[in-house]
Amino acid sequence: MAGEAHRKRLRALLRLAGVRAVGDFTLVEQAFVHESHAKEQGGASNERLEFLGDSVLGMVTAAWLFERFPDEPEGRLTLRKAAIVNDAQLAESARRLGFSDVVQLGAGMRNAGGANNTSILADAFEAFVAAIYVRYGIERARTFVLGEHVERLDHDPEALLDAKTRLQHYAQEHLSATPSYREESRGTPQAPHFDSCVVVDGKTLGTGSGPSKKAAQQAAAEAALRTLLAAEPSSKRRKK
């Protein structure tokens, strides 16, 4: 997507942050330029904006959690924040908002399915937040982060915590053990692929695959949780 159609989509995204007078598009467009596109076509990528956006996103999320859960201790708030700002959650919000259609990728990366890559979409989300913050201010950035991401999530603890965290909690509480992960890499730099298995108390409980080591570990953890919960007596599962 290029030209005026591309800018029309960006204007629609900015309206979600309450931005009506768009003005200079330069920074907003840069938020969607992946390094592979910058290397092929020249110009700046979204990496610096991603760096800033990570901090803006974290600050807005932390402030929201501080107000929303006044009785929770620091450790629990830290877990909640990590679950909200992880790549998988950010990428899901980015997909819902149509970032896959506007992210600018190099030819090889696009042909390899990069427009749906979790890491690329999460980075673009962070970069877009930074562009809003720099260009239109913290209140607009907060409006976007809360309205289009944080407040749309299920904040039930079991739904929010990622699979690796839930597996670690379960294994330590019920098995007095800590999960460990083993990975194998295959594929190409343009289309990486990882296989992971998770071992708990000397037993392999789950395997998973994904385009990154983190994604493969999360898939393995989900499989391990299914194995452990299926093995529980039905009466115990109903009490959870």
**Does residue 24 sit in the same domain as residue 142?**
yes
Active site residue: 50, 54, 87, 162, which one?
Answer: 54
Give the pLDDT confidence score for residue 180 in this predicted structure: 95
In terms of Cβ atoms closer than 10 Å to its own Cβ (0-12, 13-18, 19+), residue 57 is buried
More reliable by pLDDT, 47 or 238: 47
Active site residue: 126, 148, 162, 222, which one?
Answer: 126
pTM: 0.71
Does the annotation mark 71 as catalytic?
no
Q: How far is CA 108 from the centre of its chain?
A: 23
Boundary residue ending a domain (138, 155, 172) = 155
pLDDT-based confidence at residue 182 (cuts at 50, 70, 90):
very high
**Does residue 76 sit in the same domain as residue 137?**
yes
Residues in the chain: 240
**Does residue 123 sit in the same domain as residue 167?**
no
**Does residue 7 sit in the same domain as residue 111?**
yes
**Does residue 29 sit in the same domain as residue 140?**
yes
**Does residue 136 sit in the same domain as residue 214?**
no
pLDDT digits (tens, 9 = 90+) for 31-68: 999 999 999 999 999 999 999 999 999 999 999 999 99
End-to-end CA distance of the chain: 47
Boundary residue ending a domain (101, 120, 155) = 155
Which residues, listed in sequence order, are joined to residue 104 by a DSSP beta bridge? 33
CATH number at residue 48: 1.10.1520.10
**Does residue 58 sit in the same domain as residue 139?**
yes
Boundary residue ending a domain (135, 155, 175) = 155
Give the pLDDT confidence score for residue 233 in this predicted structure: 59
**Does residue 151 sit in the same domain as residue 66?**
yes
Q: Residue for token digits 């998988």?
A: 88
Q: Structurally, how many domains does the chain consist of?
A: 2
Give the pLDDT confidence score for residue 68 in this predicted structure: 96
Range of the domain at 64: 3-155
Does the annotation mark 54 as catalytic?
yes
Q: Which amino acid is at 124?
A: A
**Does residue 10 sit in the same domain as residue 127?**
yes
More reliable by pLDDT, 237 or 67: 67
